[in-house]
Amino acid sequence: MTLFIRFGIFATLLTLPLMSQEESADTAAVSVNEQIEQLKLNDESVNEILLDMKSYIDLARKLKFSGYMQTQFQASDGIGGAPYPIGNFAGGNFPANVGSRFQVRRGRLKVQYENDLTFSQYVVQFDITQNGLGIKDAYINIKDPWVRAWNMRMGVFDRPFGFEVAYSSNFRETPERSRMSQTLFPGERELGAMIEFAPEVGDWTNYNLKLGVFNGVLPTANENDNSKDIIGRVGFILPFEEENIAFDGGVSIYQGSVRSNSKFIYSFNDAQSQFTVDSTVTNAGKQYDRQYIGIDAQLIYDMPSLGGASLRCEYNFGTQPGTSSSNSFYNPSTIQTLDIAGNKTKSTIETTNLYQRHFYGLYISMLQNIGTKHQVVLRYDVLDPNSEIDGSEIGAAGKLTTLGDLKFSTIGAGYIYHLDDNVKFVFYYEKVENETVNGTVAATSSLSQYTKDVNDNVFTFRMQYRFPW
């Protein structure tokens, strides 16, 4: 019996390791399965993270930010505000009693989203200066996905006229556009829609066409009549690669109108060399022509061992409706009437008398690169808002002429230094010469100071930083 008991105990002891090994194997199997399940969960999490990262990468690839800032110091040989404005076409008029100033001329931030699948583009650009925040661009552009030759654009964007209007201030060598462009196209942009033909491949790649319909009331103003303005340009480029020369140019048209809210319409009588007035009651509410024709050309030559050189010129002429004292782009505004507490009581439309003038304007500029760091630029521009009368007749008795008829010519010279791809410095001086008016003009007239060339020359030193991304 004792022997049997001892044998049983010994057998039990022998089976204990075997049982322990089986339990350990089962435990190990459970642990491995748990680890496998955990790895699967981790793999799914990694996949989710990768998918999220891919979506962010796709967004970053489609979403682009760019911008630039222009800060500057300006000095004039005159004093703003009295007795005549200084530098109105050199970044805005100087304040009264001011002959020098610092400015944030432009502070642009551009956001652009491009969808490769639908060939669509969303663009919005802001301008931030010491005067506040403004919108420069806000449009949608859709390219045809078949032949990649046609674009449709709608929103606020550059008017498709000439070369200088759409030439970005980011790249332009002079601080401002010519007096002609600033007068005819203030703000450069307009609210409307445009179709563009610009093929990327084929026999027509050297030709382009832009044609748009716009409100015709300045970039951020609301429409004020039932008429629309048509603007278009036909352009071409002729490359001569062996000669290191390229030539491009175009012809532009502007066919629009302005509503007159006044019955008094002044037209220039060429035979009598003076303005005559039509005061027919039904004139109020009629549309009067705003018509421009433009020709532009650019010659680019890469000079060996020196750098690229370019010659640009643009000539515009046509009919410009304006006011008595101004030949600028006219847009009848809404006048708000306020009560004593400052609350708006009613809105009335401006009833300024309308003046019809025939104008011409042009600029010629020469640019020479010296290596990759230096550039020199020369420019001559002129605007004659009333090409049917000479300065000696302006201000004469019975002519009904004003400041709005005065011709200005500007000679500008500058030097640009590129510190790197982001930073450049601009030194630019422009000498402005006005047409001298009739010497018999009354001393109390606003024209009296223009019996000689006034002091309105401006020097600009500018720093620019850009960050394309």
Whole-number pLDDT of residue 191: 95
Whole-number pLDDT of residue 92: 87
Q: Which has the minimum average pLDDT: 81-90, 112-121, 271-280? A: 81-90
For residues 115 and 63, give the distance between their C-alpha atoms in angstroms, rounded to a whole number. 9
Local confidence band at 409 (pLDDT 50, 70, 90 cut-offs)? very high
Whole-number pLDDT of residue 80: 77
Does position 13 have pLDDT exceeding 80, yes or no?
no
Mean pLDDT of the chain: 86
Tokens 């990262």: give the residue.
53
| Mean pLDDT in residue range 347-362 | 85
Question: Which residue, 115, 318, 337, 129, is CA-closest to 231?
Answer: 318
Per DSSP, what are the bridge partners of residue 113? 63, 122
Structure-token pair, residue 61: 């690839």
Q: Which has the minimum average pLDDT: 20-34, 120-134, 143-157, 269-283? A: 20-34
**Residue-wise pLDDT tens digits, 17-69:** 545 555 555 555 557 677 666 666 666 666 667 666 766 676 678 899 999 99
Per CATH, the homologous superfamily of domain 65-466 is Porin (2.40.160.10)
Per DSSP, what are the bridge partners of residue 462? 72, 426
| Mean pLDDT in residue range 136-163 | 94
For residues 110 and 127, give the distance between their C-alpha atoms in angstroms, rounded to a whole number. 9
Which pTM value belongs to this model?
Answer: 0.84
Whole-number pLDDT of residue 243: 83
| Mean pLDDT in residue range 74-100 | 84
| Mean pLDDT in residue range 222-244 | 91
- The DSSP call for residue 41 is H
For residues 100 and 76, give the distance between their C-alpha atoms in angstroms, rounded to a whole number. 6
Local confidence band at 344 (pLDDT 50, 70, 90 cut-offs)? low
Structure-token pair, residue 264: 């008094």
**Residue-wise pLDDT tens digits, 269-294:** 888 889 999 999 999 989 999 999 99
Whole-number pLDDT of residue 336: 46
Residue 405: strand, helix, or coil? helix
Delimit the domains of the chain by residue range. 65-466
- Exposed (0-12), middle (13-18) or buried (19+): which is 334, by Cβ within 10 Å? exposed
CA within 13 Å, CB half, 303: 13
